[in-house]
Chains A and B, each alone.
Chain A
Amino acid sequence: DAKTTQPTSMDCAEGRAANLPCNHSTISGNEYVYWYRQIHSQGPQYIIHGLKNNETNEMASLIITEDRKSSTLILPHATLRDTAVYYCIVTKAAGNKLTFGGGTRVLVKP
């Protein structure tokens, strides 16, 4: 699986959009970008994934650059409950282990 690089931490104001960047310059053509988050001590939670098109669901939006070498996860209106470690993972489609890096520790402040 391709390696990913994320900032170690970032703060966000409650109610504002949180934009979480991820670099994956060695991504291959059949690899997807997945985002998970882990709220303190809980099991990780799937957020969203994409291949090359931008994706949106009830939790977030995923913007993937045209060359697919980087992506941005957008939490449109951050709440205090969004405080968590966010992981960007690049992996093939199905039946694969997830390789978690250090992630980005996001702190949403009132």
Chain B
Amino acid sequence: NAGVMQNPRHLVRRRGQEARLRCSPMKGHSHVYWYRQLPEEGLKFMVYLQKENIIDESGMPKERFSAEFPKEGPSILRIQQVVRGDSAAYFCASSPGSFTNEQFFGPGTRLTVL
């Protein structure tokens, strides 16, 4: 059973460009979470999605950031008009969403904004 997959693993963008980060949850998992880890800081929750629904986006910046988890395909975290402060590691986690809050994390996408 493959784990959570994220791609790309490393992404370099220039200021003003768009970044699209993809996350494929573990097989059978319908809950996806996105977290961000700024350099030398802790992980911060961004958004929680179930298939086709955003459940909790309390950690998402109000502008330029969006997330989706379509019926088919991976979850996408999209950052428009990136700025240097968006440089961070972005981790996706999935969960079966049943009786446990055990979340399985992917390897992360390291975004560098030049």
**In contact, B45 and A97 (Cβ under 8 angstroms):** yes
Task: Report how many residues on chain B are interfacial, defined by Cβ distance under 8 Å.
Answer: 29
With most chain B CB atoms within 10 A of its CB, the pick from A44, A46, A97, A101 is: A97
| Nearest B residue (CB) for A45 | B105
Q: Which residues of B contact A94 (CB under 8 A)?
A: 95, 97-101
* Distance in Å: Cβ of A33 to nearest Cβ of chain B: 11
With A43-B108, A95-B31 as contacts: A100 and B44 at CB distance below 8 Å: yes
Any A CB within 8 A of the CB of B52 = no
| Nearest B residue (CB) for A47 | B102
**In contact, B55 and A95 (Cβ under 8 angstroms):** yes
* Contact code string A85-110 (vs B, CB < 8 Å = 1, else 0): 00000011111111111110000000
Q: How many A-B residue pairs have CB under 8 A?
A: 66
> Which residues of A44-99 are within 8 A (CB) of B?
44-46, 49, 91-99
* Contact code string B99-114 (vs A, CB < 8 Å = 1, else 0): 1111111111000000
> Which residues of A27-41 are within 8 A (CB) of B?
32, 34, 38, 41
> Which residues of B41-62 are within 8 A (CB) of A?
42-45, 48, 55-56, 58-59
* Contact code string B1-13 (vs A, CB < 8 Å = 1, else 0): 0001000000000
* Distance in Å: Cβ of B1 to nearest Cβ of chain A: 15
**In contact, B48 and A95 (Cβ under 8 angstroms):** yes
5 smallest A-B Cβ distances: which pairs? A43-B105, A97-B45, A100-B43, A44-B105, A100-B42
